[in-house]
Amino acid sequence: MRAEAGSRGSTGSLSVLLVEPDEAWAARIAGVVAPRVALLERVADAAGAFARLTGGAWDVVFAAAELPGLESAALARWVAATARDAAVVLLARRATAQEAVRAMLAGAALYRAKGAELEAILATDLAWLARRRNLEAEPAPTGFVGASADAARVLELVADYACEASPVLVTGESGTGKDVVARALHERSPRGGGPFVAVNCAAVPEALFEGELFGATRGAYTGADRDRKGLLGEACGGTIFLDEIAELLPATQAKLLRFLDGGRLRPVGGSREQELDVRVVAATHRDLERMVCSRTFREDLWFRLDVLRIHIPPLRARPVDVPLLARHFAERAAGPGVRFGPRAVADMLAFPWPGNARQVQNVVLRALARQGRDIESLERELAAGGSPHAQLDELLRRHAGDLAEVSRALGVSRRTVQRRLARIGLRAAAYRSTGL
């Protein structure tokens, strides 16, 4: 089967090879793919796939995961070695997390289940694959790593919102990668050549925050010995990322709202307003709607920030992404060729990862330090750093009890850290006084 000259929309330049022995499934898949791509060719077995991949250039290979005599991971490895520019999407009758992980660690870009919603999933995947190819990037072009449906949705929203001017609110638990998504929005936008200024609203002392954000004139407060541009001024022509936006004090919330409404601000102690061209991306792990109901966050500011929203689900809801994150962090630290054995992958899939991607990174770095480039198990690393108690203990030791540094590392407010310490019986002062 060969179909050419599909729609010349966003996916219309792709060449696709379909490897599918089942006639009924081939017809269903072709019905979705053919109208959306420039070329679709189908072969029925592994031998045909090898012949066509060797003889031509392909952008995407959709392949049945259960080909006779060939396991899906082997096919993914072969395609990755033979046709380096082709993305492999494996389609399984009986999809399992373990098989998905094996296939993607072997080089598959996506792993999908053949089910009732396959047509809609394939249409979304084609759009993402075309965007990936046009960007000439890795499978996670924004730096946000994952191949689950949830991760694909995050990537799709980043691409959709990057060129908008409206504020974006990024939500998700601590450690899910909200800062990565914020930077991706900036880099993919027309402002990508301008400054990207990240501010942790929980880490700046409350008394200084307004001056840090909006700037201040000389003499506006004790210690203001010169005019200060402020972080919003430094971000002019680019993007400001306000992490932990829920920690803003009411007075600062009101002033930020005025800036968002008109793009103008008045430095602390100043008499004249300044006009600034800055895009705002905000993030929080807290429920702003609930805070609005409890009157701890302004409703009008929430409405102004929550124009476009990207929610990042926690890793426990998308476990298939964990081994990909582990490989990403391992290769970033030690280069290509790090191997995770079957036991290590099983450890990843069984663990709930309360610290999300940040915790995966810490565990992988500990595993590299102890085991080198051949990682057989993560049992000891998870036991050492898997609990919130151990994570806080490690950070307190590293930062000598400095709560500002600990809160910055965790991406939460100082008050949140203090509450956690009280709950588990740790005292920051002990780490300062003893030098632990």
Please give the average per-residue pLDDT across 133-158, as a whole number.
70
SS3 assignment, position 70: strand
Whether 262 has a pLDDT exceeding 70, the answer reads: yes
Between residues 386 and 264, the one the model is more confident about: 264
Please give the average per-residue pLDDT across 99-118, as a whole number.
79
Task: Kindly write down the DSSP assignment for every residue of 72-117, as one continuous string.
Answer: HHHHHHHHHHH-TTPEEEEEESS--HHHHHHHHHTT-SEEEE-STT
What is the pLDDT at residue 333?
Answer: 86
Whether 434 has a pLDDT exceeding 70, the answer reads: no
What is the pLDDT at residue 420?
Answer: 73
The matching CATH number, chosen from 3.40.50.970, 2.160.10.10, 3.40.50.300, 2.40.30.10, for 157-311 is 3.40.50.300
Whether 297 has a pLDDT exceeding 80, the answer reads: yes
Report d(CA 78, CA 53) in Å as an integer: 10
Rounded to the nearest integer, the mean pLDDT of the chain is 80
Whether 13 has a pLDDT exceeding 60, the answer reads: yes
Percent of the chain with pLDDT over 70: 81
Query: Could you tell me the pLDDT band of residue 217, with boundaries at 50, 70 and 90?
Result: low
Domain boundaries, the chain: 2-136, 157-311, 315-385, 388-434
Instruction: For residue 385, give the amino acid letter.
Output: G
CATH 3.40.50.720 fits 315-385, yes or no: no
Is 315-385 the same fold as 2-136?
A: no
Between residues 20 and 136, the one the model is more confident about: 20
Q: Which helix (H) or strand (E) holds 202?
A: none
Please give the average per-residue pLDDT across 187-213, as a whole number.
81
Please give the average per-residue pLDDT across 258-273, as a whole number.
72
What is the pLDDT at residue 394?
Answer: 65
pTM for this entry: 0.64
Q: Are 40 and 5 in contact (CB under 8 A)?
A: no
Whether 11 has a pLDDT exceeding 70, the answer reads: no
Query: Could you tell me the pLDDT band of residue 139, with boundaries at 50, 70 and 90?
Result: very low
Q: Which residues make Cβ contacts (< 8 Å) with residue 276, sequence separation at least 6?
A: 232, 233, 235, 236, 259, 263, 264, 265
CATH 3.40.50.2300 fits 2-136, yes or no: yes
